Amino acid sequence: MEKPKNTSSNGKTIFWVVVMVLVAIGYCNRDKTSTTKEENYSVSSNEMKITAYLFSQEFVKNELKAPHTAVFPDADFNLIDVNDSDSTFTVRSYVDAQNAFGASIRNRYNVKLRFTGGNMNDGHNWELLDIHLYDEN
């Protein structure tokens, strides 16, 4: 006569194998669920300074009579001050652009802006705090 198989222990084994597989799948996918995670940047890095410089140019163009004529110099990291504690940048530079009469003039400027977090290449993540343009003469 044949012995009846113990289906109770086979069922428990299958149950625990399924649980372990589900736990392993959940563990492997844990980082994929947070797609809105903020990116971390070192505020004082050269990459952040050049990005601040580029966005300062956009803020300056908004103040010009003929923004399409604007010519900016290359970035000078010595003219970009960084405050790590509040992620602010002060950019000092100049722009050559035409005035309302069509004459090309040089304006010096100071722009203070803040990186508010997120993707540093997204203009929505930069806040203009202060801007001053003044004639070089």
Question: What's the pLDDT tens digit per position in 34-69?
Answer: 333 346 678 778 999 999 999 999 999 999 999 999
Q: Tell whether 91 is covered by a domain.
A: yes
So what's the pLDDT on residue 25? 67
Look at residue 6 and tell me if it is in a domain: no
The dihedral sign for the CA sequence 32, 48, 114, 63: negative
In a domain, 16, yes or no: no
Quick check: 9 pLDDT over 70? Answer: no
In a domain, 24, yes or no: no
Q: Is residue 76 situated within a structural domain?
A: yes
| Residue 35 included in any domain | no
**pLDDT above 70: residue 4:** no
Comparing 5 with 133, the larger pLDDT belongs to 133
Give the global pTM. 0.69
On whether residue 124 sits in a domain, the answer given is: yes
pLDDT at 108 over 80: yes
Contact 96, 70 (CB under 8 A): yes
Domain membership of residue 40 (yes or no) is no
Residue 22 has pLDDT above 50, yes or no: yes
Q: Which domain holds residue 96?
A: 46-135
Task: Domain count for the chain, please give it.
Answer: 1
